[in-house]
Structure 1
Amino acid sequence: MDETDADTFGSLPVDAVREALVGWYEADHRSFPWRETTDPYEILVSEVMSQQTQLGRVVDAWEAFLDRWPTAAALGDADRSEVVGFWTDHSLGYNNRAKYLHEAARQVETEFDGEFPTDPDGLSELMGVGPYTANAVASFAFDNGDAVVDTNVKRVLYRAFDVPDDDAAFETAARELMPDGESRVWNNAIMELGGVACEKTPRCDEAGCPWREWCHAYGTGDFTAPDVPMQPTFEGSRRQMRGRVVAALKEYDELALDDLGPRVRVDYAPDGEYGREWLLGLLEDLAADGLVDVDRGGDQPAARLQK
């Protein structure tokens, strides 16, 4: 960790944090076709289409757009009214995005000899390409971008590392946390984290968030964020129940399910909503985190803390 890392992250093991996130992302992530390409034109189209549009809706439109105009040259040669018509037919929102994309394709051909600029500054010269989009294309097409800072990333940094709600602080923290020369995988990974685990309603355990052991919000139960003004209730939450399991198993060497259950929830009933099946799911989460061992060899499963 360099001196600037130490200033922002204190004693946080930054290398371990980086490795945990990248490993989590590479092991399993949502599949989008633009994540399988490094073609800057295809990535630019995806970025423009994804602005304020759910990614699931973008896939069909993106594929149809590229079938019709497979290259920047093909798009630049198209009649602008056809491009705008496509945009409208696919309910992609503001039609000026289609106009700008069409103009950017023409610029690539006429001003850049058919080759996309490879860094954020150069890409920002294209019509309608702002700093965020320029950085995204540089990152995902050329592995040559800065750390992406969007609403999801701000939420992650605020919750995980208690970064102040300040744009400059977010920019600094994101820049220091990203490994040098790895903008493609890093930006994909941290955006994925914000999209599937650290959403407005967090899914820390369900999504196997790789930062739980360091996360300020996970440790305190306070999941407020710049775009999440209300604090989710900790009482009765899965996070609280996990803590009760660990506390009970610290007191006892081993507990069978029906002995452990009432120590976790007073309303535990073996066949009820909060019964054996529910408790086993909780234990399996803890086992996946390396905290608990589950022995299924007896009359009923039993749990103990991992040594």
Structure 2
Amino acid sequence: MSDAEAPADEWTLPDDSAAVREALIEWYEDDHRDFPWRRTDDPYEILVSEVMSQQTQLGRVVEAWESFLERWPTTAELADADRADIVGFWTDHSLGYNNRAKYLHEAAGQVENEYDGDFPETPAELQELMGVGPYTANAVASFAFNNGDAVVDTNVKRVLYRAFGVPDDDTAFEDAASDLMPEGRSRVWNNAIMELGGVACEQTPHCDEAGCPWREWCGAYASGDFTAPDVPTQPSFEGSRRQFRGRVIGTLREYDELELDTLGHRIRVDYAPAGEYGRDWLTGLLTDLESDGLVDLERVEGSQPVARLRRDG
């Protein structure tokens, strides 16, 4: 049985864990990707980067992040903005589900109205903000306040699985990540271990090319077996429901309002009122957007529904 297949009660971290920790931190501090959000400890700027990065490659996030903060540099200015403008920005920059823009807007309002403009600092408190789940809360606590727990994302799981034979089990990953993280250093540690998974221990590893600092301890490097936990496949954007949600938002920004069929023909060339991608399909899409607080759908008996972008500051 390989280390990677060992049962949960048989795996162990290296005896010289202190050396393991220092090797990774030194490697990261010596040379790492220079994303602008790594040069700030402003919790608002970090929250924006985390939300934008959820479905977008980091290289593309940089321009969107800088433009967003130039337009809305503080939570106060974001909270006062028209939601339709924020959602439109999200759509224009292809930043994933546009309800995340709505949640970011609402979270800014919470910071201003419930916290007097000061961000909460712990993962538990940060989860009280709209749309902020455990992972994002921990990231903001770590990178803004150096007050987070060990991050456990897909990259971290892959590193721990390969290097130390931690089994594909969420509890085991959390335990191992927590045991490894040096106390009081969540900012540098979480950045470092995610960087390791992002540039050295990718699906196709680049151990020597990236100068992986854990080669002397890594079971996969010693054995040549670089299997890793399964990674969920990201659905294709082209033709997806997410793509057409964005098209609806983008089209409604150009018009005060549109009837159902007019909107349908503008967002897809194969729209046919009675077809597979027709009124039922579009009504379902609009109903979802209405539930998310992004669209108003006016239903009048005997007439086609009319859709308009919701605007509220």
Given the two structures, how large is their TM-score scaled by the length of structure 1? 0.71
Q: Evaluate the alpha carbon distance shift between residue 42 and residue 10 of structure 1 in structure 2; reply closer, same or farther with a 3 A threshold.
A: closer
Over residues 80-120 of structure 1, what are the superposed CA-to-partner deviations in whole Å (9 max), with x where a residue is unaligned? 00000000011111000000000000000001111000000
Q: Does 1:68 align with 2:47?
A: no
Q: Partner of 2:100: helix, strand, or coil? A: helix
Q: Distance in 2 between matches of 1:165 and 1:34?
A: 31
1:89 has 2:119 as partner: no
Residues 228-307 of structure 1 mapped to structure 2, 5 A cutoff: none
2:213 is the counterpart of 1:188:
no
Match of 2:206 in 1: 203
Aligned counterparts, 1:140-219, within 5 A: 140-219=143-222
Aligned length: 224
The equivalent of 2:28 in structure 1 is 25
2:56 matches 1:53: yes
Please, which runs of 5 or more residues in structure 2 have no aligned partner? 1-9, 233-313
The code of the aligned residue for 1:129 comes to V
Aligned to 1:120: 123
Question: Alpha-carbon deviation of 1:8?
Answer: 5.7
How far apart are residue 177 of structure 1 and its match? 0.3
SS at 1:115 equivalent: coil
- CA distance in 2 between partners of 1:64 and 1:89 (Å): 12
The amino acid across from 2:199 in the alignment is V
Q: How far apart are 1:227 and its partner, in Å?
A: 2.7
Q: Which residue of 1 aligns with 2:249?
A: none
Residue identity matched to 2:189: W
> Any idea what SS the aligned residue of 2:179 has?
helix
Please state whether the residue corresponding to 1:159 is helix, strand or coil: helix
Match of 1:243 in 2: none
Identity %: 79
Taking structure 2 as the reference length, the TM-score comes to: 0.70
Once the two structures are TM-superposed, the CA of residue 10 in structure 1 deviates from its matched residue by 5.1
Separation (CA, whole Å) in 1 of partners of 2:231 and 2:184: 32
Q: Comparing both chains, which one has the higher relative contact order based on Cα–Cα distances under 8 Å and sequence gaps of 6 or more?
A: 2
The 1-side partners of 2:67 and 2:214 are apart by: 37
Tell whether the 8 Å contact from 1:155 to 1:227 is kept in structure 2 after alignment. Answer: no
Unaligned runs of 5+ in 1: 1-6, 230-307
Deviations, residues 226-276 of structure 1 (Å, cap 9, x unaligned): 0379xxxxxxxxxxxxxxxxxxxxxxxxxxxxxxxxxxxxxxxxxxxxxxx
Distance 1:228 1:208 in 2: 24
